[in-house]
Structure 1
Amino acid sequence: MPFPHAADPRVAPVGDPEPEVAEMLAKTLGDDRGVPLAIFRTMARHPRMMKRFNVLGGFFLTRGDLPARERELVVLRVAWRSGCEYEWAQHVLIGRRAGLADEEIVRVTDPDAPWPPADAVLLRAADEVLDHTDLSDATWAELAGRFTETQLVELVVLVGFYRMAAGFLNAAGVQKEEDLPGWPTGFRPGDGT
């Protein structure tokens, strides 16, 4: 779980970017007013890295081979397990658009919750990669019965990418936009995991 910080954000989002950075930020996701999200304005402190980060993140969200609902189940589990409220909040919204019900989103936070087998194996895969940096033979075989090799590669890299993003968001103290949802009522990240 994240450490408490003396001050957040630790890295202030860029407020008045240089033209080249402003052009890159204009291509990122924004809030309802069109303001680039805090993650991108913070990452803009390192424009070359932000550019490459956006390529891979954009791939997962718009060009990946995994179905959107399954992708978002995995990302929400990673956000929860990483204690990253910013990532959680953004992917609650994306998950809803991908077809996840609010009840399912909250259930992601319960490691003992019952899931249909097709969803349970995805959550188990996320947990195994987070806990062991690997997948068990049983989990791999179950996934391989459903997904192509391309999708399996994507799934494992997806977990790692969003774990990396969570580490950046937590360590930099990126603050979520005020209109975004927080943790589910009565829950705190990592409860029971």
Structure 2
Amino acid sequence: MDDAATEVPDAPPPDHLPGGSRRLPRIAPLPEDRWDARVRRLLANAPRDPGGRVPNIFTTLARHPDLYARFMPFGGQLLREGLLPGRIRELLILRTAHNTGAAYEWGRHLPLAEAAGVSAADVRRITRGPDAVGWTDLECHLLRAADQLHRDARISTVTWEALASYYEEAELIEITMLIGQYHMLAFFLNSVGVQLEPGFDRTGTGKGARADG
């Protein structure tokens, strides 16, 4: 495969699940009156929106408390304790959200990206891919890596060698794991139908956008 960016294939129309169903979500967030003692402890440390509401991603995943308990430290390591600068991390996450049509992932990460220094112009370029005018050489290689992992499940030799001229081995590992983590989340969000909370922008999610995740 060459390094050229590839458009994401068209997906079913927004708001539709296979078979044309519009009944979303498939698995609803666990309502607070059904939180047992363990779930209440797990969600006590979850990030909260203004007003104290726990985001839908966490209250849905909490229906599998064993998985939730193991997932959160790994996700937190990549999101808050990783080796990659915040701007780079969020560029990779947003490109992955665009590639997978994950409206929830896209909408929730736009504010994080802005806080990490990703501009509105950057966000528009993310939807156009690694060959858009305005990226640095490094950013082109990073976005191309995200596209190649999405399309081919591997980073090409040319892109890997380019990234290796900037990064040490641990950072290269983190790039692949970060992109993979947000693919996994997109699979969960899109399939389960986690709905984006009011007030978050889904514009730019991509051709594959699902209103249910």
Deviation at 1:148, TM superposition (A): 1.1
Is structure 2 residue 164 aligned with structure 1 residue 148?
no
Deviation at 1:156, TM superposition (A): 0.2
Equivalent pair of 1:76/1:88 in contact (CA under 8 Å): yes
Q: 1:23 to 1:99 in 2, by over 3 A?
A: same
2:116 to 98, 102, 122: 98
1:117 to 127, 137, 161: 137
CA distance in 1, matches of 2:44, 2:11: 30
1:44 to 58, 62, 72: 62
Q: Which residue of 2 aligns with 1:60?
A: 78
Deviation at 1:2, TM superposition (A): 5.8
Percent identity over the alignment is 37
1:177 to 186, 197, 205: 197
Letter in 2 for 1:11: I
Structure 1 unmatched ranges of 5 or more: none
Q: Which residue of 2 aligns with 1:9?
A: 25
CA distance in 2, matches of 1:113, 1:130: 18
Deviation per CA, 1:85-130: give whole Å up to 9, x if none.
0000011111001110011012101134122211111100000111
Off by >4 Å, runs of 4+ in structure 1: none
Letter in 2 for 1:75: I
Equivalent pair of 2:42/2:69 in contact (CA under 8 Å): yes
1:72 to 71, 90, 94: 90
Q: Aligned-residue CA RMSD in angstroms?
A: 1.5
Deviation at 1:41, TM superposition (A): 0.4
Structure 2 unmatched ranges of 5 or more: 1-9
CA distance in 1, matches of 2:24, 2:11: 12
Deviation at 1:43, TM superposition (A): 0.5
CA distance in 2, matches of 1:123, 1:190: 18
Q: Give TM-score, length-normalised by structure 1.
A: 0.93
Is structure 2 residue 40 aligned with structure 1 residue 22?
yes
Structure 1 residues 133-144: aligned runs within 5 Å: 133-144=153-164
Equivalent pair of 2:99/2:206 in contact (CA under 8 Å): no
Q: Give TM-score, length-normalised by structure 2.
A: 0.84
